[in-house]
Structure 1
Amino acid sequence: MTNFKRGFHGIDIGGTKIELVAFAEEGDRLREVHRERIATPGTDFAEFTAAMQALIGRADAALGMRAAVGVGLPGVIDSATGRQLSSNVPALNGRMVADALRGVLQRPLAIGNDCQCFALSEAQGGAADGMATMFGAILGTGAGGGFCIDGRLMRGLNGVAGEWGHWPLAAAQLAPHGLPVYDCPCGRRGCLERYVSGPGMRRMHLHFSGKDETPLAIVARAQAGYEPARHTLDVHLDLLGHALASLVLALDPHAIVLGGGLSQLAHLYEKLPAAIGRHLFPGVRTPPVLPPAFGDAGGARGAALLARQQLNDSL
């Protein structure tokens, strides 16, 4: 087996699959050496940790060394207890995932939010490579993100920097569009992700048209001239533009990179900059809104980069 100076395993954990990508460090670059996907053990925590241990063992063999590990997890980690919250993997909810994995793996381990890992991947070698600051905005089953400065992920006191999907929309912002204030599974009401995510767009379209259709179908219907679908897209753009304008005023990123399923919708790149600009005061420029360079493959890469960032910080 070939030996490299350092190696990093990046792991992206989803509700149905776990993807591991093993990288060899070559200067500032990470070169992919090994990739594997397995089904996520969704209900049994012991089975989950055993599967992770076996997966990483095979990656070590492919890389030729015991490598540091970065893990991108859905949901958030309780900063006071270290327990995993709001995960779409039932086996992980309420568990001390980091402690358990460190116990079985016996190596450096970095754990971050999957959305933060996406942002880090796009900040280093991705769509926002070389930019002083960037925000990675996930628009998938939920809305989350991450903020990077000079290619480094900024995590904050509680590790939740970038959780813009749980900023609340005021009733006054929803009333002009005839929208109710929806409850959010996080326990709050009116959270942005209930409107601007993929299911949020679908929920609004059902409200306006009485039809339950996917975002792709809504776009196709709008292009065919169906007025309720056009209205859904107009309202979605306005609410998303308002949300991202708030991000611009709070963080002033040099670029916004979209991720998640809605990042595939071409009209967002055409119309979103103007929608953001309408909610900014004169003299504030709208940053470019960019498609992701790595698509849905960035999570594991970002997790590996997070492991490298944490290891470098400890040296």
Structure 2
Amino acid sequence: MTTLPDGCHGIDIGGTKIEIVSFDAAMCEVHRERVATPGQDIVAFSQAIHTLVRNADAALGARAPVGIGLPGITDTFTGRQLSTNVPALNGRQAHRLLQHTLERPLVIGNDCQCFALCEAAGGAADGLPTMFGAILGTGAGGGYCADGKLMRGLNGIAGEWGHWSLPAALLARHALPLIDCPCGKVGCTERYVSGPGMSALHRHFGGDAAEPIALAARANAGDVLAARTLAVHLDLLGHALANIVLAFDPHAIVLGGGLSNLPHLYERLPEAVQRHLLRGVQAPAILPPRFGDAGGARGAALLLRQQLDTIPHP
């Protein structure tokens, strides 16, 4: 991996917060700052990024290159940002905008892929030949890494498992409807297995809109409806992760996002995955993240280091 003598900055941009972390040449953290995301105002958004990087330069003592993790995907042909939960960026050429704002070497990647890279290089899957990082939060996304490096694919979207469709037979087994997805498809996996997806399942079965942590607590206390919700969610998620095994055959799957804090997933998910696999195929280890929700900025910095040799210098 490329050495940056003066260090680098990683930025994790989300719908509610922007966090920057500065690292020295050995990838030791030297500075961290977080602000609320000005999600509607592009001028305020650009100024927030500029101020964060200026402060980080001062803390690092150098004008350093930047890696940025963004939600959504970038259109390969136009460079415009799609499906972002930062409305100010939606439809804009994010790389060109931020390059103009920061005037330095810059790499932008998907935030879920940055999570995967963080956990592959020094994280829960460190040292494994391959891994898949599966985010289970407001949505479902992820990334695939081999030998500690992110594999992005032709369109840069490798790992977008949240928009694989669940089969009609599986939905019929649990008497579930086809649900429209903002991406334009129907029956997308993330509409059922994400945090809001689990809450939607509970409502569908006649319950309230409780959050997943509350549902897990109720199930542990003997609530039959909450237990049913968790069982169905586990079956759907097991099927989805089994497809990841068939597609990528990773040595481990590391969970991220809010649902990664649910202990029952690590206890019961391996068996749920195994039920949907071919005979003779072994489910990989399913691991909690080492860096949790603090890994996005680190992953963005690692992506920068991975791609530094291909960055055009202004």
CA contact (8 A) 1:146 1:153 kept: yes
Which residue number corresponds to residue 10 of structure 1?
10
Gap regions ≥5 residues in structure 1: none
- What secondary structure is seen at the aligned counterpart in 1 of 2:181? coil
Identity of aligned residues (%): 68
CA separation in 2, counterparts of 1:307 and 1:53?
18
Q: Are positions 1:122 and 2:149 aligned together? A: no
- Map 1:144-159 onto structure 2 (within 5 A): 144-159=141-156
State the TM-score, normalizing by the size of structure 2: 0.96
- Please tell me whether residue 88 in structure 1 is matched to residue 88 in structure 2: no
Give the counterpart of 2:281 among 281, 284, 288: 284
TM-fit CA distance, 1:42? 1.2
The match for 2:104 among 103, 107, 110 is: 107
Tell me how far apart the structure 1 counterparts of residues 207 and 5 of structure 2 sit (CA, whole Å): 58
Deviations 1:195-217 (A, max 9, x none): 00000000001001232111011
Distance between the aligned counterparts of 1:313 and 1:90, measured in 2? 29
Matches within 5 A, 1:40-79: 40-79=37-76
1:255 aligned partner, one-letter code: A
Contact preservation (8 Å) 2:7, 2:64:
yes
CA deviations 1:177-206 (Å, max 9, x no partner) are 010000001110000000000000000010
Structure 2 gaps, min length 5: none
Structure 1 residue 6 displacement after superposition: 3.1
Matches within 5 A, 1:226-265: 226-265=223-262
Q: Which residue identity does 2:17 align to in structure 1?
A: K
After TM superposition, give the deviation of residue 138 of structure 1 in Å. 0.1
Tell me the amino acid that sits aligned with residue 141 of structure 1.
Answer: T
Give, in whole Å, the separation in 2 of the partners of 1:201 and 1:36.
32
Alignment pair present for 1:142 and 2:139:
yes
Match status 1:213 vs 2:203: no
Q: TM-score, normalised on structure 1?
A: 0.96
**Does structure 1 conserve the Cα–Cα contact (< 8 Å) formed by 2:105 and 2:311?**
no
1:204 correspondence with 2:201: yes
**2:207–2:225 CA contact under 8 A, matched in 1:** no
CA contact (8 A) 1:209 1:229 kept: no
Name the amino acid aligned to 1:130: G
User: Partners in 2 of 1:51 and 1:10 — Cα distance?
Assistant: 15
Does structure 2 conserve the Cα–Cα contact (< 8 Å) formed by 1:121 and 1:298? yes
Aligned to 2:23, the other structure's residue is in SS state strand
Q: Distance in 2 between matches of 1:250 and 1:39?
A: 37
4+ runs of 1 displaced by more than 2 Å?
312-315
Report the counterpart of residue 20 of structure 1 in structure 2.
20
Check whether the contact 2:270–2:283 (CA below 8 A) recurs between aligned residues.
yes
Code of the aligned partner of 2:206: S
State the secondary structure of the residue aligned to 2:25.
strand
The one-letter amino acid of 1:203's match is: A
Of 207-216 and 13-22, more deviation after overlay is shown by 207-216
Please give the root-mean-square deviation of Cα atoms over the aligned residues, in Å. Answer: 1.2
2:258 and 2:88 map into 1 onto residues whose CA distance is 25
